[in-house]
Chain A
Amino acid sequence: MTKLLFANIDEPDLNTIDVYRRHGGYEALPKALKMSRDEVQAQLESSELRGRGGAGFSMGKKVSFLPHGAMDKYLVCNADESEPGAFKDRELIQKNPHQLIEGLIIGAYAADVNRSFIYIRGEYQYQADILDAAVKQAEAAGYLGERILGSDHTLSLVVHRGAGAYICGEETALLDSLEGKRGNPRLKPPFPANQGLYQGPTLVNNVETLSNVPHIIRMGAKAWAEHGVQNSTGTKVVSVSGCVRNPGNFEIELGIPTRDLIMGLAGGPREGCTIKFFFPGGSSSPVLTAEEGLDIPYDFDSMAKAGSMLGSGSIIVVDDTVPVVEVAKKVAKFYAHESCGKCSPCREGTNWTVKMLERVDTGEATPMDLDIIASVQDQIIGHCLCVLGDSMAMPIGSLVRKFRAEFEEHIERAREARGMGVTVPEPEPVGIAGADPDVGPY
């Protein structure tokens, strides 16, 4: 299968500028700089490259949304990659940082941006060090800085490390975090393209999205777009993990059967197990059972039609040895832990869901609680400030819907194991419980 992003990925020292250049690196950049900004943007647009960070929005369109004219504009590369199951950006940064930097410089040129940042999650310390070194090399080589390669394009690039918060992957939370604030998402509109970092127009793109840019310029949008299928052009690095024999990142052409990915490249389930369900696009996508999902093509539209989504392109496979309640609890706890707390449906809804699932797990729930869980998910979806709330509600909703029988059985079994009937939690004395005896309850 064609390798673009992953071509020569394990070549020793590909992360250094010399080896990268030996493999044709930094050839797209002078080519782009010879084109006009509009031409580069037209290339991006006609490639139909869709964002690889989750939302799948056309990169070329996003570039075109940035207002023209002299003002402070910014490009921010989203390298926060914190969604459970996603680890593609990590490998791209670690092994081929210059591919990203070259794409970022070209993207900045197209968007007429002079300042750029890579926001990398704090846990990726090794990868951030590699990026820092690569940026220094690129600066020394004149690919970054004033009047790049003699053109009128000027760009600075700062690698900014996060400190552990999934929500900072959401583009507006990322911008707040980069501005030195708590990573809370902002209201949209205004969208970052109009009012982003430091109130200036800002282009936010994922690592993989930007890493594709040199290839589009090098090959020409048309040739590049021949990979993949309609509406899902190009190749995609897919992270496959969980109950498979060969977990890892695989670069595929969009549109291949999901089965080839999971059963073929990733080696299929472990000895003696069968696949129960999988998350096709990271932990925030509604799950698909093996029957539903294995035979649909792995691309944006097909996944959406199947009631799920491609998201960041991360598949988590769950086999039949794993209780569905366990998975649901993990998912819910993750989102409860990562909710920023700004909006009420997400803050309270994720926590409520965790508490209910814990009762389901210990057998202290009734099937009616499953209805409440499902209804709480419906109350979250579409009501939150950003989609983190939905990101829990959609998979949890799908799990409860698709595996209701197992949930009910689980409750039953857990209750029998405890030798108890249904109990409502022991009521806590309100207020008085924590009261300071000297002050009194109020």
Chain B
Amino acid sequence: MARVQRYPDGSRVPPWDRAVDLNKEPAPVPEPAVTPVPEDLRRTIEAYMSKYPDRRSAVIPSIAAAQRHYGWCSPEALDQVAAVMRLTPAYVESIATFYDMFETEPKPAHDVYVCTNISCSLLGADELFEHFIETLGDEGDFNIRAFECMGACDIGPMASVDGVYVGPLELDDVAAIANDVRDGRPVLSRKQLAHRAAADPGAAVPVPDPDTMAAGPPMPPERGRGEATSPEDEP
């Protein structure tokens, strides 16, 4: 049997073995007087809080805002969310660690979530993921993660590149994606889900050529003159 991979302290799961540091102070709700928060982040969080009957509902959007601001959910970021929301940082961290899209370790700037769930893997998603890792894994720019089904099995195998869904992907697309991201172009515009027509033959009407369109998402997608897209779409 293969040897179990272990972390330096002898365990196999990293976070479990995190001991507390008895020299640290306990961490109650942060004292605003000694917890500076960047003004734009504070305003964003306060705006979220005002949308809900209970301010606590804003915790997910607020962590997301902090993650955008700092690049990851650093202890500092979580502490600041806690300070503005008047929660304990432990509470905020327990939320941050529950959800897949929050990352409590430093990560590269660009998120590439590759679906490796059933439908996509039936169409080669595992190879695709391997290829992503091999090609871009050591780059430092790409946070490549195997993700569960992202609700786009119709374009499997697919990936979400900084939130933009693209597929069906072939191995060659990996390099193109990297280039698009680096050059700040819309990612793989011909394969973006946003421009795809419905598969249902009774409903489909022609969809415009993506190249004539604005830079893709966000919305609303502008549509101009029509022309059918890729052949898979044709019933």
Q: Count of A residues near B, CB < 8 Å? A: 85
B44 close to chain A: CB less than 8 A: no
Nearest CB on A from B125, distance (A): 10
B207 close to chain A: CB less than 8 A: yes
- A180 in contact with B59 (CB, 8 Å): yes
A13 close to chain B: CB less than 8 A: yes
B53 close to chain A: CB less than 8 A: yes
Distance of A93 Cα from B53 Cα, bound (Å): 25
Distance of A183 Cα from B57 Cα, bound (Å): 12
Question: Which listed residue (B98, B160, B198, B223) contacts A249, Cβ 8 A?
Answer: B198
A234 close to chain B: CB less than 8 A: no
B121 close to chain A: CB less than 8 A: yes
B200 close to chain A: CB less than 8 A: yes
Question: Which listed residue (A1, A125, A241) contacts B154, Cβ 8 A?
Answer: A241
**Which chain B residue lies CB-closest to A420?**
B1
Which secondary structure dominates where chain A touches chain B? loop
- B100 in contact with A434 (CB, 8 Å): no
- A9 in contact with B198 (CB, 8 Å): yes
Nearest CB on B from A355, distance (A): 12
Which secondary structure dominates where chain B touches chain A? loop
Within 8 A of B (CB), among A225-276: 239, 241-243, 246-251, 265-267
Q: A126-B165, A330-B121 are in contact. Are A94 and B194 (CB under 8 A)?
A: yes
Question: Which listed residue (B1, B148, B156) contacts A338, Cβ 8 A?
Answer: B148
B106 close to chain A: CB less than 8 A: no
Within 8 A of A (CB), among B148-189: 148-154, 156, 160, 163-165
- A242 in contact with B122 (CB, 8 Å): yes
Please, which residues of chain A bring their CB within 8 A of the CB of B122?
242-243, 316, 318, 322
- B118 in contact with A87 (CB, 8 Å): no
Please, which residues of chain B bring their CB within 8 A of the CB of A425?
1
Please, which residues of chain A bring their CB within 8 A of the CB of B208?
12
Per-position 1/0 for B23-64, Cβ under 8 A of A = 000000000000000000000000000011111111111011
Give 18 new A-B contacts, CB below 8 A, not counting A13-B222, A164-B102, A247-B119: A8-B205, A10-B203, A13-B220, A15-B219, A123-B147, A126-B218, A161-B60, A163-B101, A179-B54, A181-B56, A182-B95, A183-B98, A243-B123, A248-B200, A250-B200, A251-B200, A327-B118, A338-B148
- Ranked nearest first, the 9 interchain pairs of A and B with the lowest CB-CB distance are A248-B199, A164-B100, A12-B223, A241-B153, A180-B56, A163-B99, A164-B101, A84-B149, A125-B163
A: residues with CB less than 8 A from B are: 1, 3, 6-13, 15-16, 72, 81-87, 89-91, 94-95, 115, 121-126, 129-130, 133, 158, 160-166, 177-183, 198, 239, 241-243, 246-251, 265-267, 283, 316, 318, 322, 326-327, 330-331, 334, 337-338, 340, 364, 423, 425-426, 428, 433-436
